[in-house]
Amino acid sequence: MSKKIDFVNSLKDLNEVDLKARIQEDELRMKKLEFAHAISPLENPMSIRALRKDVARLKTALHQRVKKAGAEAETT
């Protein structure tokens, strides 16, 4: 579980642009892993699942920041 906590804590330092870039990079890496796994089995196929969960965490963090920024803009 500490890996998940470390990952989430590392997201606090990133801004929205960095989050979007990281999402794109990880999605591209996930596609490459899935393609490689289709051709020949990966040594650790669970890495695809872990990467997919990381992308979901990134998207959640981005969505929360956009929502928070929108709420702050409405109150101003």
51, 26 contact by CB (below 8 A): yes
pLDDT in tens, 16-72: 999 999 999 999 999 999 999 999 999 999 999 999 999 999 999 999 999 988 888
36 is a domain residue:
yes
- Is the pLDDT at 5 greater than 80? The verdict is yes
10 is a domain residue:
no
- The residue range of the domain holding 65 is 15-75
8 is a domain residue:
no
pTM (2 d.p.): 0.86
| 3-state SS track over the chain | CHHHHHHHHHHCCCCHHHHHHHHHHHHHHHHHHHHHHHHCCCCCCHHHHHHHHHHHHHHHHHHHHHHHHHHHHHHC
2 is a domain residue:
no
Overall number of domains in the chain: 1
